[in-house]
Amino acid sequence: MRLRRHPAAAIAGALSCAGALIAGTVLVPAGAQAAPAASMAAAPYIYFGWGNPQSPTQVMSATGVRWFTLAFILSDGGCNPKWDGDRSLTGSDAAKIQGIRAAGGDVIPSFGGWSGAKLGQRCSSASALANAYQKVIDAYRLKAIDIDIEAGEFSSGTVRKRVVDALKIVKDRNPGITVYVTFGTTPTGPDSTGKDLIRKGAAAGAEVDGWVIMPFDYGASPGDMGDASIKAANGLKNAVKSAYGYSDDQAYRHIGISSMNGKDDDGRTISKGDFQDMLAYAKQHHLARFTFWAVNRDRSCGSGSDGDSCSGIKQQPLDFTKIIAQYHR
């Protein structure tokens, strides 16, 4: 989506070192309270680089959400990860992660998005890309990562293979880590490029925990957005089932939905009712993930507000996050 694809490279500021750096690792406390494992499946995106981001700990208190997907890790110009390509892993974002964990939550950094320099393109090999992913995993002692593969990373067959080969390495190095791969879709499921990505993942032996579609920004009108999202998810299920040889139940448990609240970039409305339909579907089939873009937008617009910081529809604050928080796999 165009809104979620804004890099925050233009938003630079003084970065304070928020954690000791020892052998390249940021020591971020895991917090005294452990978040329920099931809540990882419901980790809405929040972007600290734009859109007047809301306080994560206040969102946790108001909604019951315990996990957040943090956007976006990009290339600093080479094969080195930074927040939005310019903020150090040891800077202000580390302090925010520490605050979330201290409140009993946890995070899933997301690599990629639409804009900016992608690690999948700037790293020359699968092993180099896996090392870049590993820097972030080690820095924050992560339990999960999200690869939001879009734009040039998604369109290049060479890069698609590099990404899934790197994820195979990551899974081998980090037993128990959860890996999500998020990408765009048509109203009937993944297009030929998306299906190829899934097939490449299966061929590489990459044990992806959740292949996740973004069912919005379709261009042509798909009609009811709740029904269209479910139809797209069924198409995803079939693609994953075919590639991996899963049963229907296994395939459902390896897919997910990452929706968008309110007006999408094409001006179509994804309503609270649509989210409730998707929630029922996710619960019925035990999907790996049900999330949305983004907490930044989960409020009504005021005068002069834009789509980076509000939904474009009439709503109460955090209505959509409260629906997502009801999902426990």
Work out whether the CA dihedral 112, 233, 279, 3 comes out positive or negative: positive
- Cα(32)–Cα(162) distance, integer angstroms: 37
Q: Quick one: pLDDT at residue 39?
A: 82
Is residue 275 in a domain?
yes
**What separation, in Å, do the N-terminal and C-terminal C-alpha atoms of the chain show?**
26
Task: Respond yes or no on whether the N-terminal peptide bond of residue 72 is cis (omega within 30° of 0).
Answer: yes
Is residue 12 in a domain?
no
- Cα(141)–Cα(138) distance, integer angstroms: 5
Number of domain units in the chain: 1
Is residue 2 in a domain?
no
From first to last of its 329 residues, the chain has per-residue pLDDT tens of 444 443 333 323 322 233 333 334 444 444 434 434 348 999 999 999 887 899 999 999 999 999 999 999 999 999 999 999 999 999 999 999 999 999 999 999 999 999 999 999 999 999 999 999 999 999 999 999 999 999 999 999 999 999 999 999 999 999 999 999 999 999 999 999 999 999 999 999 999 999 999 999 987 777 899 999 999 999 999 999 999 999 999 999 999 999 999 999 988 999 999 999 999 999 999 999 999 999 999 999 987 677 789 999 999 999 999 999 999 98
- Cα(299)–Cα(151) distance, integer angstroms: 28
Pairing of strands 45-47, 25-26: unpaired
Written as one letter, the residue type at 271 is S
Domain range for residue 297?
38-324
- Considering 150, 209, 264, 274, which one is annotated as catalytic? 150
Strands (E), the chain: 21-22, 25-26, 45-47, 67-75, 81-83, 106-113, 144-149, 178-184, 210-214, 255-260, 262-263, 269-270, 289-293
- Cα(328)–Cα(39) distance, integer angstroms: 6
Q: Quick one: pLDDT at residue 304?
A: 66
Is residue 286 in a domain?
yes
How many Cβ atoms from other residues are within 10 Å of residue 35's Cβ? Answer: 22
- Cα(30)–Cα(141) distance, integer angstroms: 8
Tokens of 101: 């964990």
- Contact 290/327 with Cβ under 8 angstroms? yes
How many Cβ atoms from other residues are within 10 Å of residue 249's Cβ? Answer: 12
Is residue 21 in a domain?
no
Phi, psi of 240, deg, nearest 5: -70, -40
How many Cβ atoms from other residues are within 10 Å of residue 259's Cβ? Answer: 24
What's the pTM? 0.90
Residue with tokens 């419901």: 42
Is residue 13 in a domain?
no
Q: Quick one: pLDDT at residue 124?
A: 98
- Contact 123/46 with Cβ under 8 angstroms? no
Task: Respond yes or no on whether the N-terminal peptide bond of residue 294 is cis (omega within 30° of 0).
Answer: yes
DSSP percent split of the chain into helix, strand, coil, nearest 5: 40, 20, 45
Phi-psi region of 284 (alpha: psi -120 to 50; beta: other; left: phi over 0): alpha
Is position 150 annotated as part of the catalytic site? yes
Look up the CATH number of the domain holding residue 90. Answer: 3.20.20.80
- Cα(148)–Cα(287) distance, integer angstroms: 18
Is residue 8 in a domain?
no
Written as one letter, the residue type at 266 is D
